[in-house]
Structure 1
């Protein structure tokens, strides 16, 4: 694919005497720049852009300043069957827009040829370049990532002023910072905060997208979440950093909200559909849908690769973020012959001078052919590990023959991350995420309950490896509630004591529920909003203790694979080495893990004993003779072992010297 990179910056570039506008379109016969008044309502001028040989259309507007509102119109052949969607009635958002004057709102006219859309499409705003000092990332592999939906997280926080609730700026409020610090969060991972549009089936249902995984402008912040623009994001990143907390942005470069053939024409489709999206070979009118969202961004095309790299660099340069999580990241590695760890875009991200030291986290799958690529991304990419999620759930649910798979995942999933010669785990261990049950709902619902989504409970995953402890959903039965709480504590312990990087979704530390909805993307309401007054403070304290233990003992967050040569022993609860029969017993559910690790408190190397009992009965426990003075429980105020381990529990002991 022949393409010459431009010597100028795409988008709107402010200079001393005006603004240069540049946008790519290989196939448009003509592209016009449209300038609007300060309210973005009245079109003041329409200027023809000159076409260059490399496919960029450019025009310089003398006297234009920061704050100028603009959009594009592209004219040419309109033939969707041939992948051409040029319609000069459609106002198009600059793919390089840095700021928008309003949110995207779905309207039927966006998909109708010849229907004027200038009154409903956001206008891009020319911004002045305000870079921040780029510092090394605070976050390191092995740390604790806290997944946050910004709006849901703070909408009901009693201490956050109402004018700030639901915004990125609210994360810098002292009460919110105090919660993050109590938990020992190393980095917040912000679910999408760039501008998105609702899926077209939601408005008729009275619903709206609350997750943001349906983007239009890839580097423009959504005015709902970040009303103060890039300055608000940069200030929040700085405030978090001052407390030792990094910021990771969850970004979507796999599809756009323009959706399928029946979707909206808002930006890339109207400018150059054949360049920005992948199509079935020899059938240019048929979009490839490896994302399940109607279209697939063509990450193999040089223009798209540059847009992605520039978007990532924009957030590092102007907000100082620590790194990125990539939604459906397999798309980024897709080329003509399928996924490759050496795909141009992945290689360019890893080599880019501004990006190569950033945190990079892949969601290593999509729904296309060969889409499941867990363990196959190039270093230094960390990867969401759904095998850890499922193996931990199946083990604690009580399924047969689950001890071995659970322990393998618990120890860093060497079976996955060593197969290309790796010596360290790149796993991001998690039990629940935004997509699926909350942790509390996992142990309270045997099946999903998505009726509120308006699709007759057909949407969302059917197999969640969940259980309800004897009664479905809400209950007042004290025994059921106690069992559920014990399960949540055991699951939290399994996560925080696992090897590698860990991720917890906001609210799971306190028993947040979505009433069994496992696909709550369209619930921007009390279903997803975090009810701070309902959180279980005892569970929060349990998570905080586990986090402090993880920080105290480096072996827990270490990414090097365990060797069994002095670093770990696998024992029965009686203190004897595990045998093949012990591992392979159909319902094996107990284990004692002995780790050797530095102790930052005692300032010496010690042994940790992690005792696991998934059974429903109390088990006898015999720890090995201590090499120090005695064993003490880290979860029970340094009390000595009692000689037994309660049902459905993980306990952790340290040698006291």
Structure 2
């Protein structure tokens, strides 16, 4: 028999037995309110004891108010050569922190935070928490861990004063965002990268390839696909499997397979800081793709082991909801879950001077969480996938495109723009190249004011890591490659925020695979020789980016077939199948 505590003064049993609680017979499950943090048992008529499992109670307003630790500094940290451990675990009856092969009992605070201090600097020392909760004992990493042993075996204390991060910040600015994946960048077997598949590979250049390509292209930001710890690649044998990284396990820990020395848990922090600083030195911002809508595996995760039933959404039968189609949904609307998300973004922004965040499946998250991040980090670019998805969150609370006016400083990937300019994601068409100028295309080019309050909310794109690459769609439809020039020009020059995937300018393909998230490197890696093979198309993209920089107030005109971008000295005429550039004296 299992006995659950779901609401104040109410027990629910999984079997129809008569149960007793503290010598009081419980018939309908109504009992005195339980004080969390203490062990509670019920007995049946045979005298058998069962631990009470705190389940629905952690979803109540009472729980949120009673165990409000939003002002606490959580995780492990070092100050004045003293190490502090703080863990939020209100339903736990006791917690130990284990380091140097010894367990230390932590002190419980009234707000449900367990704390332990030691008068030593434990930099680079591994630790785990032993959490006694719901009649079980869980050994787990720290939800707020900043480093860990390979594959998340244990957390590691970090004294950031002992690291040499020194990332030069960039002033906030807007421009063109270029998406890339860390591993893809340096896995071309025909280019002699020294740090293949690693963070440091992002800093290498070989002729026109690598980092120099990005510098030469003129984009303002790179957007890195997930760089925090993900669960589907063995960090000790990283090239056995491939994954994009949208399967997070530890949010504040950087992915160990990208480290130049996996045996040193803090090396990956230094490597990543070097990358951000290297791009900042070149005047290029770094945005991070973050995945706060789901986690890779719920039951072995620190979120589940520390406060069971709290961090995720459940239906009335307490089965995990699955609006993400990844097995679970993170309950961002709960104050302490929101705190974890906001604190994670602040950690990356304050430690590495990150310039922006792209939120995967942002429509699964709640509006207040996105606005809280924007308020906490007002100079950063906050944007994401605001798809309206079925989830356990009410429609009016979703950070989705239909609610974009409730998030005026948050950007959204514009699916209207994507479909009418570049064609549907299933590869069935090429948008503008097929239809010519339509009212929807006019509206999209002018900033999609039928959807957004401001063009700055519109992330204009036709290609990203998902679905077919533009090159694949052109090949599947057996179309002339030159149509990509018109499509790419509209991505860059339309009102809004231009977004491209690396290689979109030089016809990078995925060999006609529409979902390559776990396919081999030979499918996903950048073939840098395409930069030379399709040089003319790449130079056209560079030209459009430069036009946008030099003409911030350019005018957009339409005629019956083409779209004209009129700058101070040039006019770009974009037709479905060709482009034309005219010099003039200005208007």
Does 2:489 match 1:493? yes
User: Secondary structure in 2 aligned to 1:521?
Assistant: coil
Does 2:115 match 1:58? yes
User: Secondary structure in 1 aligned to 2:338?
Assistant: helix
Distance across 2 between alignment mates of 1:399 and 1:95? 50
- Residue in structure 1 matched with residue 549 of structure 2 by the alignment: 551
- Residue in structure 1 matched with residue 514 of structure 2 by the alignment: 518
User: Secondary structure in 1 aligned to 2:467?
Assistant: coil
Does 2:583 match 1:612? no
Instruction: Kindly indicate whether the alpha-carbon contact (under 8 Å) linking 1:100 and 1:222 is maintained by their aligned counterparts in 2.
Output: no
Question: Which residue of 550, 560, 578 maps to 1:649?
Answer: 578
- Residue in structure 2 matched with residue 386 of structure 1 by the alignment: 415
Instruction: Kindly indicate whether the alpha-carbon contact (under 8 Å) linking 1:199 and 1:214 is maintained by their aligned counterparts in 2.
Output: no
Change (3 A) 1:54 1:541: same
- Residue in structure 1 matched with residue 32 of structure 2 by the alignment: none
Distance across 1 between alignment mates of 2:478 and 2:193? 37
Distance across 1 between alignment mates of 2:108 and 2:523? 50
- Residue in structure 2 matched with residue 122 of structure 1 by the alignment: 153
Question: Which residue of 81, 86, 105 maps to 1:48?
Answer: 105
User: Secondary structure in 1 aligned to 2:412?
Assistant: strand
Does 2:382 match 1:357? no
Question: Which residue of 341, 345, 370 maps to 1:346?
Answer: 370
Q: CA deviation at 1:519?
A: 0.8
- Residue in structure 2 matched with residue 255 of structure 1 by the alignment: 294
Alignment of structure 1 residues 162-173 onto 2, 5 Å: 162=194, 164-173=195-204
Distance across 1 between alignment mates of 2:72 and 2:166? 24
Q: CA deviation at 1:568?
A: 4.3
Instruction: Kindly indicate whether the alpha-carbon contact (under 8 Å) linking 2:167 and 2:277 is maintained by their aligned counterparts in 1.
Output: no
Does 2:539 match 1:538? no
User: Secondary structure in 1 aligned to 2:584?
Assistant: strand
Distance across 1 between alignment mates of 2:107 and 2:351? 30
Distance across 2 between alignment mates of 1:351 and 1:410? 29
- Residue in structure 1 matched with residue 148 of structure 2 by the alignment: 100
Structure 1 unaligned residues grouped into runs of 5+ = 37-43, 79-86, 104-120, 201-205, 334-340, 446-466, 470-482, 557-566, 573-589, 600-605, 615-647
User: Secondary structure in 2 aligned to 1:220?
Assistant: strand
Structure 2 unaligned residues grouped into runs of 5+ = 1-60, 261-266, 424-429
Instruction: Kindly indicate whether the alpha-carbon contact (under 8 Å) linking 1:193 and 1:226 is maintained by their aligned counterparts in 2.
Output: no
Distance across 2 between alignment mates of 1:139 and 1:441? 35
Does 2:86 match 1:76? no
Does 2:305 match 1:270? yes
Deviates more, 1:513-522 or 1:389-398: 389-398
Deviation string 1:318-349 (CA, Å, 9 cap, x unpaired) is 1111111111112331xxxxxxx4x2x22322
Q: CA deviation at 1:16?
A: 3.4
User: Secondary structure in 1 aligned to 2:517?
Assistant: helix
- Residue in structure 2 matched with residue 211 of structure 1 by the alignment: 244
Change (3 A) 1:27 1:495: same
Does 2:89 match 1:25? yes
User: Secondary structure in 1 aligned to 2:330?
Assistant: coil
- Residue in structure 2 matched with residue 4 of structure 1 by the alignment: 68
Question: Which residue of 406, 410, 423 maps to 2:445?
Answer: 410
Q: CA deviation at 1:26?
A: 2.0
- Residue in structure 1 matched with residue 333 of structure 2 by the alignment: 300
Alignment of structure 1 residues 127-166 onto 2, 5 Å: 127-130=158-161, 137-141=170-174, 143-156=175-188, 161-162=193-194, 164-166=195-197
Deviation string 1:459-489 (CA, Å, 9 cap, x unpaired) is xxxxxxxx333xxxxxxxxxxxxx1x21222
Q: CA deviation at 1:379?
A: 2.2
How many residue pairs match? The answer is 492
TM (norm. structure 2) is: 0.78
